[in-house]
Amino acid sequence: MSVKIEACCSMHESDGGSRALASRCAQSCMSDAGGEHVELVIYAGTYRDDNVVEPAQAPYAQRDLGAVAGVSDEHPRGAFSFDVDNLLAGIEIADGMIRSNQAQRALVVAVDRGVGHDEAPGAPVGGLAGALLLSRGDGARFVAFHSDLFPEHKHLREGVLRWTTQGGAAAHRMQIQQDKRYLEACISSTRIALRNFFGELGLSPRQIPLVIASQSPRGLPGALGECFGWSAEQVVQVQGADRELHTAGPVAALDVAWRDGRLGRAERVLFVTVSSGITVSAALYEKPACPMQ
């Protein structure tokens, strides 16, 4: 039994908040996939409308999916939804829940967008949503997941909502600070993590035809290509973004590869995400014609 990527969608919009963007993207993804029921909705994202901490954001997307994620005679338990901070953690959790028969299908929605964050100093986050539908099937599947933690770099990128006074006015202000060494640290951390991952898989970088990577910090996809000998064709880059593409960046990259045919041609896909901490996560996705050696 395997878990495959059934559908993928991304939206890059300047209007509307994170919840509206997440809902529109989730609805579009489910519609593309034929609108069948989904039992698990996971929201992966850091920055959200009004910096709301409760409830989780996933239930809003679940609500706006309507009957597709609701209770019915055929689906008496409806769906379950919650948030995670890390896209590949969300995908791995969803993959596992499908494998253990707790869900037939799972939707992972990744969004970062904060209304009122436009003025955040540091590394502002652009409005981007991505949605990935996973379902049970035979054939294409996630083979393995990997994570590596590099906490020695935890101070190189921080996002903290602080109560501060500026110009005589006290308010909560989001401060996103990214050190100029952050990109270099992401690259070096990813090199180590992927070396570990390839070692455990018994694969070399040249056996990876397609790489879906985090699109931030800026320059990361190209730098990874240079490190591992991958061409610009192999490491998907999302063009035209004027701000950092945060959690949903890899989903946007997958959407690009899906639409331009690179995903269809690749028998093996490496997903790699890098996030502050630094956490490097990776996953190998294979199609049935290419079993891992």
Partner 1 sequence: MALPLPSTEQASHKRGRTRFTQNGGSNAFRARIESVGAFLPERRMSSRQVVDMCHNKPDIDLEGVTGIVERRYAAEHEDSLVLSLEAIKDCLGHSRYKAEELDIVVFCGITKYDGGIENLRFEPPLSVLISDRIGATKAFSFDIGNACAGMLTGLHVVNDFIRRGVARCGLVVSGEFISHLARNAARRVDGPFHLETASLTLGDAGAAAIVERCDDGSGIATTAFSTLAEHVELCTGSPCPDGPGGHMHTLSREIHQAGTLGTPAVVQHLLNEAELTLDDVEHVIMHQTAVRAIDRCSKVVGGMFGSERPSWFVNVDRVGNTASTSQFVALRRCLGEGRMKPGERVMMLAQASGLVLGGAVFTMDHLGERYVSQD
209-228 binders of partner 1 (CB under 8 A) = 226-228
Cβ 214 to partner 1, closest distance in Å? Answer: 13
| Region near partner 1 per CB under 8 A, out of 8-16, 26-34, 207-215, 275-283 | 275-283
Enclosing H/E stretch for 270: strand 268-275
**Residue from 9, 111, 201, 210 in contact with partner 1 (CB under 8 A):** 201
Angle at which helix 182-201 crosses helix 220-228, to 10 degrees, equals 50
**Distance between CA atoms of residues 79 and 151, nearest Å:** 35
* Nearer residue to partner 1 within complex by CB, 49 or 255: 49
Per-residue CA distances from 222 to 130, 138, 202 (Å):
21, 33, 24
Site for partner 1 in 83-112 (CB under 8 A): 83-86, 89, 92-93, 95-97, 99-102
**Residue from 151, 167, 240, 261 in contact with partner 1 (CB under 8 A):** 151
**Distance between CA atoms of residues 4 and 106, nearest Å:** 10
Cβ 260 to partner 1, closest distance in Å? Answer: 25
**Residue from 30, 176, 236, 269 in contact with partner 1 (CB under 8 A):** 176
* Nearer residue to partner 1 within complex by CB, 228 or 255: 228
**Distance between CA atoms of residues 241 and 218, nearest Å:** 10
**Distance between CA atoms of residues 273 and 251, nearest Å:** 10
Site for partner 1 in 18-77 (CB under 8 A): 41, 46-47, 50-60, 62-63, 69-71, 76-77
Amino acid occupying residue 239: Q
# of chain residues touching partner 1 (CB under 8 A): 86
Does 232 sit near partner 1 (CB under 8 A)?
no
Cβ 248 to partner 1, closest distance in Å? Answer: 15
Site for partner 1 in 119-138 (CB under 8 A): none
**Residue from 139, 154, 260, 264 in contact with partner 1 (CB under 8 A):** 154
Burial 55-72 (b: 16+ CB within 10 A, else e): ebbbbbbbebbeebbeee
Judged by DSSP in three states, 109 sits in: strand
Does 193 sit near partner 1 (CB under 8 A)?
yes
Enclosing H/E stretch for 133: strand 128-137
